[in-house]
Amino acid sequence: MSAFTSSPAGRNSPPLDSWRLLLREAVKEVFSMMVGAEISVPGQADPPVVREVTGMVGLAGELCGVLCLRCSKSCASKIAAKMLAVPVTEAASHMSDAVGEICNMVAGNFKAKIDGLQDKCMLSVPTIIIGGDYEVFSPAVGDRIELPFLFEAEAIWIGLDVRS
């Protein structure tokens, strides 16, 4: 399976439905293996988007775009605490590093699930934004996948913007 399929209009479109499933699987695997905790999919209503901490990893090559993770500071500290196996009170200073590494691993694990993409798509080092007063602009038209998760009763949103 190639990364993109041609649409009647000639624009190469990613198979978003199957990628949504692969991204969900990639997120769950990273949390299970590296955080040591399960992350769940919300049952009915989507949780609110809290973007006190935003992690971003760029993808370049055959698949070009940005993967981002948005959550609260409290949630980011809990993730760091689990990864380091220390109390949450000792983990706050590591939350940026932890969120960046989660983004990196989710992006890498996601692209590894798409046949033929592994060697044709490179990842940037992660960028972390603390605070929610920002806007993101992109010059390219693209597609977006957004997935909500719950981690210890807190919302985590994973987004994948793919530029065509």
Partner 1 sequence: MSIRALIVDDSSVMRKIVERCLRQAGMDLGKVFEASNGAEGLALASVNTFDLILSDINMPVMDGLEFVRRLKEMDNAKNVPIVMITTEGGEKSVLEALSLGAKGYIRKPFTPDQVKEHVIPVLRSQS
Instruction: List contacts with partner 1 (CB under 8 A).
Output: 29-30, 33-34, 80, 83-85, 94, 97-98, 100-101, 104-105, 107-109, 112, 118-119, 122-123, 125
CA separation for the pair 12, 28 (Å, rounded): 28
Nearer to partner 1, 33 or 140 (CB): 33
Kindly report the number of other CB atoms within 10 A of residue 36's CB atom: 10
159 has which bridge partners? 68, 146
CB 63 to partner 1: min, Å: 12
**Identity of the residue, 41 or 112, whose beta carbon is nearer to partner 1 in the bound complex:** 112
Least spacing, CB of residue 29 vs partner 1, in Å:
6
CB closer to partner 1 out of 26 and 129: 26
Is 126 exposed, middle or buried (CB count within 10 Å of its CB: 0-12, 13-18, 19+)? buried
| Distance between CA atoms of residues 36 and 31, nearest Å | 6
Distance CA 24, CA 154 (A): 17
Q: Which is nearer to partner 1, 34 or 150 (CB)?
A: 34
In whole angstroms, the minimum distance from the beta carbon of 30 to partner 1 comes to 5
- Nearest distance from residue 3's CB to partner 1, in Å? 13
Q: How far is the CB of 25 from partner 1 (least distance, A)?
A: 12
Our CA dihedral for 69, 48, 51, 3, rounded to 10 degrees, sits at 30
* Closer of 48 and 116 to partner 1 (Cβ): 116
